[in-house]
Amino acid sequence: MNILVIGSGGREHALVWKIRKSPLVKEIYCATGNAGTGEIAVNIDISPEDIVGLKNFAIANRIDLTVVGPELPLSLGLADEFLKSGLFVVGPIQGAAEIESSKVFSKLIMREAGIPTADFEVFDDVYEAEKYVMSADRPLVVKADGLAQGKGVFPCLNKGEAIAAVNAIMKEGMFGQAGRRIVIEEFLEGEEVSFMGITDGEYFVPFATSQDHKRAYDNDEGPNTGGMGAYSPARILMTDEQEKVISDIINPLLKKLGEKGRPYRGFLYAGLMIKDGKPYVLEFNARMGDPETQPLMVRMKSDIVPLLMGASQGNLKGQTALWDESFAVCVVMTAQGYPGSYRKGMEISGLGQFRDRDDIVIFHAGTRRESDKIVTNGGRVLGVTAVDKNPEKAIEKAYSAVSSVHFDGSFFRRDIGKRVLKR
């Protein structure tokens, strides 16, 4: 079968890498892909936001299944357009994808479905938002309503920080139309865990747990980013607790979306905060996490393609995902300055030595090929991923590999996965 993967980041490289291992697959295309996907798939120069162009390509090239990596094409209605043409797609329709494209919608549907989440209020007037902040007697989190590439969330420990966040989003227009409305919610303290899986709208197949590192600097300091690293398993949610997350969070969400005429099919991500042993939803995402996908794919023992087909065709009943017992960690190497401004075009060296390794896989994100060179082409450049039965050895392998890969201005956190060693 022929498969089209949409996106150009580390998540998409990891998905292409895993799909390529399936005996069911003949050809893989990636739009637009990166230097890494170009080594194992055919990169095509069609923007992920060019919905009509992608649809026409899928029809012309007899694509049997399209897998959508990033959230923006889903928010633009890619799945709707593909389904109208009789094309199978892994990704929710526009109305269902609103669980990510609108934090206001997401919080309101959680309230309707009785899903545990932080107390919140919604504002479209900056002065009412400021008035609310000044009346609050607890730390707050200020969130832009729309898509902001993982950077629209501001944890605020005091009123000054919260007012500054409100002004940055609503007055200064940091995120444009995505900040026209905001959510202000209580600050939940605890430990975060990423809980992902795939669904056909009725049946949900859970994936292994993972944990992301959002802050730019060590010890979870600095600004939020798209993700500086991740590891799996998280070893926070045990099997019985995962079942409770499915029964109390995932299933109520799917049921409520179905009742609203927004049936959900595709990957589903729940970002959870474990507070006093109870999971609360921080956010839902309508796709896999990045960089969590990278350690998950190297641990997945199952062929992923039957799961993808089952979700797209409404036929996941009875399917499961099997996982290697090893520990996997992904360290993200970024361009200097990320998540702010950064330079592109820096030559990357040292990648070839890991090309045939099973225990170390370097997933590309912001890269492109220039003649015989691979150069940087984004803020998050590489996801250096290592696996081992021993978590400490896996982390050592990852950082050893990081030290062997070079480009001008490379930056990375030095504490990815370390918290699991403290358990």
Give the model's pLDDT for residue 423.
Answer: 67
Please determine, looking at this structure, whether the domain spanning 125-180 carries the CATH number 3.40.50.620: no
CATH number belonging to the domain at 327-421, selected among 3.40.50.300, 3.10.310.30, 3.90.600.10, 3.40.630.30: 3.90.600.10
Give the orientation angle of helix 103-113 with respect to helix 251-259, to 10 degrees.
Answer: 100
Dihedral, 345, 349, 352, 357 alpha carbons, nearest 10: -100
Residue 207 is classified by DSSP as: P
Q: Specify the CATH class of 191-313 in words.
A: alpha beta
The sign one gets for the Cα dihedral 200, 33, 177, 182 is positive
The one-digit pLDDT tens for each residue of the chain (423 residues) are 999 999 999 999 999 999 999 999 999 999 999 999 999 999 999 999 999 999 999 999 999 999 999 999 999 999 999 999 999 999 999 999 999 999 999 999 999 999 999 999 999 999 999 999 999 999 999 999 999 877 789 999 999 999 999 999 999 999 999 999 999 999 999 888 999 999 999 999 999 999 999 999 999 999 889 999 999 999 888 778 899 999 999 999 999 999 999 999 999 999 999 988 899 999 999 999 999 999 999 999 999 999 999 999 999 999 999 999 999 999 999 999 999 999 999 999 999 999 889 899 999 999 999 999 999 999 999 999 999 999 999 999 999 999 999 999 999 999 999 888 876
| 27-32 β-sheet, strand order | 42-44, 27-32, 2-7, 65-68, 89-90
**Helix segments in 115-204, DSSP class H:** 126-135, 159-166
Please give the class, per CATH, of domain 2-93. Answer: alpha beta
**Per-residue confidence (pLDDT) for residue 419, from 0 to 100:** 84
Asked, colleague to colleague, whether 125-180 and 327-421 share their fold, the answer is: no
pTM: 0.95
What is the domain partition of the chain in residue ranges? 2-93, 125-180, 191-313, 327-421
Q: Which amino acid is at 323?
A: W
